[in-house]
Amino acid sequence: LSLPRTPALPSYTAAAAMDPKLLSMQEEPSNQRKKDKKSKKEKKPKPAAEAEAEEAAAEQEEPSNKRKKDKKSKKDKKRKLAAEAEEAAAEEEAKSSKKRGVATEEPDQGGAVEKSVAVTGKGFADPKYAPLKSFAAAALPTQVLDCCKGFDRPSPIQALAWPYLLDGRDFIGIAATGSGKTIAFGVPALMHVRKKLSEKGAKKGLPRCLMLAPTRELAQQIADVLTEAGAPCGINSVCLYGGTSKGPQISSLKSGVEIVIGTPGRMKDLIEMGVCRLNEVSFVVLDEADRMLDMGFEPEVRAILSQTSSVRQMVMFSATWPFAVHQLAQEFMDPNPIKVVVGSEDLAANHDVMQIVEVLDDRARDSRLVALLDKYHRAQSNRVLVFVLYKKEAGRVEAMLNKRYHLFVCKSILLLHISSSLV
């Protein structure tokens, strides 16, 4: 009899190939057996020779690791020593720079920190030129220092300038307006005149010192300081500027003065008239030299300087240091003058003065001016200065303000045509 053939069952391996779960179940026992064999091998004790070799290798590694640590610590010490040396060098440099008269910070009269100060020039580091810490340190006569009684100590430009100027050095000072420049060159000027008058055969009443300023306002300011400072010393000054009669100025020159202060235009006129003779002038100051040249006074300045003594001490003060001023200094000064810069040589606004700029429509200007006067001039206890562009505009604004404020404004508000105010 022939029985029916039953279909062969698929083998386990074939089934595992078909089913991934069965395949993983098949591989797990084999993997476990391999792990057991590996752990048994690791548990077997190592031969003595092999153990000794491993210990020797470990002992050799320990000194090498120690050497590495030692090297690292030595490097750290070297870095630390180098850093300490750099700090010490920086401190020493700061001390030596102060001795040379170069400082990065200087306290002003109010105790605040002043801008950076730099000094250059031949022999600037000489100890005799050390900056003054007090007015008394200058060892000047009491009558000369009377003008400094209202100040606690010299400003940075004064402390640095006096030692050089009193020694007869040509000097360039770059400092902002309001830094004490007038006293910085005014006191050395008085000492220079005193020295000249003490010489045998010296005549009193001849100009020995000349100070040029770009505007009559600045010239008058310098003259006020020098007149007050020179009175105790018996030194007379005269201020020469345009926009006023020449008569009183000529009379002052004829009566005899030692210091002449003025603007280039009027000074040149009086020289050409033969009234102002500067051949005995041996101390010359150009204050705000950059403004003087900007206003086109270079020809007048050169003509005036040519009338002074060939043996003279030149002093220039300026808020900036443009090429034109530098060129003028090269021509009329010593080849290696002392140059002191307080702050920067670049043009910048004076941060000690609050400045507010408003851009307005033409029709809104009058009402804004009236509003500002109502705000700042209500008590009429102060003075207000209003600048306008044209002379005709000055008349119009004056009429408008007089009409509104009932004529009192003329006594307390001054309106100036800009170009005429700079004569």
pLDDT tens digit at each of 423 positions of the chain: 455 555 554 444 444 444 555 545 555 555 566 666 555 555 555 555 555 666 666 555 555 555 666 666 666 766 766 666 666 655 554 444 444 444 433 444 433 335 588 899 999 999 999 999 999 999 999 999 998 988 889 999 999 999 999 999 999 999 877 778 999 999 999 999 999 999 988 888 999 999 999 999 999 999 999 999 999 999 999 999 998 999 999 999 999 999 999 999 999 999 999 999 999 999 999 999 989 998 999 999 999 999 999 999 999 998 888 888 889 998 999 888 999 998 766 656 666 677 889 999 988 999 999 888 888 877 667 778 888 888 888 888 888 888 877 544 444 455 555 444 443
For residue 278, with 0-12 CB atoms within 10 Å meaning exposed, 13-18 middle and 19 or more buried, which class applies? Answer: buried
What token pair was written down for 384? 């207000």
For residue 360, with 0-12 CB atoms within 10 Å meaning exposed, 13-18 middle and 19 or more buried, which class applies? Answer: exposed
What is the distance between the alpha carbons of residues 285 and 283, in angstroms, rounded to a whole number? 7
Instruction: Report the number of secondary-structure helices (H) and strands (E) in the chain.
Output: 15, 10
Sign of CA dihedral 136, 137, 139, 143: negative
Q: At 314, which amino acid appears? A: M
For 139-155, give one letter per residue: b (16+ CB within 10 A) or e: ebeebbbebbeeeebbb
What token pair was written down for 176? 């902002």
CA distances from 140 to 136, 156, 187, 190, 284 (A): 7, 18, 9, 11, 21
